[in-house]
Amino acid sequence: MKKEHDQTFNAFIGKGCCFDGKLSFECLVRVDGELKGEVESEQGLLIVGEQGLVDARVRVARVLAAGRVRGRVDAADKVEIKKTGIVDADIASPVLTLEAGAVFTGSVCVEELPESPESPLPLGEKPA
């Protein structure tokens, strides 16, 4: 049985590194440094490590946040905020989990998103 996190890394942004721009990927990206801008992946997993900072418009399948996330997150499958995670973002996802100790500030819309990550629902808007 394949575990959720047993995927091939497309990129690793290490501690002390900063990426500013638009990042698209297929499988998995881990951020332990800084990532600013836009992040897109139809089926990918974005992991924000404990030392990581993502300040971006994120449109992915899954997010696992153990570090800091700011901005807007649209996740087609789920968002998981670990106990070390600090998320200040508006989130739209069918599943949101928070471990005890996690910090979340923002709004949340817990429902299925449209198929295309290019056209996510604005917060508060229902699918047709």
What tokens were used for 33? Answer: 């440094």
C-alpha 85 chain-centroid distance: 12
pTM of the model: 0.81
Distance of alpha carbon 45 from alpha carbon 3, whole angstroms: 12
Mean pLDDT, residues 23-41 taken together: 95
DSSP state of 21: E
Mean pLDDT, residues 26-32 taken together: 94
Q: Would you list the domain boundaries of the chain?
A: 9-106
pLDDT score for 3: 47
Residue 33: is its pLDDT beyond 50?
A: yes
Residue 31: is its pLDDT beyond 70?
A: yes
